Amino acid sequence: MLMSYKKHHLGKSVEEDSFSLIAIHTSIEDFQLAYFINQSCATQFKRDHNLYSSHLKRNVNGMVWENSWDEETYWHLFPNKFVDKKKSSQQPNLLFEENYFIEQYILPEFKQVKYFIKKPEDTTDSLFIKKIQELPEVQIAYSIAEKAIKSTKNIIFD
């Protein structure tokens, strides 16, 4: 009796539920922005140094709000820019080995944006954005369409 077998391979894929991304232009520091948003929007963003982006292979310094009504829902407030420290030994033209710094972006297609809020997608975005826009320290805040984001893997935090 001859039996045939069919092999199935399961690929590892990272998928995430739909999310909203809000861009914020301001000149203040992240802790100040979190404070003002917490005051006006009834959020509770707290510092979390463990926003790890597996695609970037690095920690992102940001703020997290774990909603009390849904313990699996997290909102992330994070800067777009980060500084990477490199050694000059990676640069063959330099005489001495020194450290140098390179500015990089989490979402390079939005270099002009200073901060982002990533939250689960829902219908309250317009009210939330309006409250952020009313803050005197914020120049502008707006929603970014998910299809406009080219590097979505960079903002999947473990």
Q: Is residue 27 part of a domain?
A: yes
Per the structure, the complete domain to which residue 135 belongs is given by: 19-81+107-155
Note whether residue 113 is domain-resident: yes
Domain containing residue 52: CATH number: 3.30.70
- The CA distance from 67 to 51, in Å, is 16
pLDDT tens by residue, 83-125: 877 666 555 665 666 777 788 899 999 999 999 999 887 766 8
Q: Is 1 among the domain residues? A: no
Does residue 140 sit within a domain? yes
Give a yes or no: residue 94 inside a domain: no
Q: What is the pTM of this model?
A: 0.78
Helix (H, G, I), strand (E, B) or coil at 31: helix
Cβ-contact 139, 39 below 8 angstroms: no
Number of domains present in the structure of the chain: 1
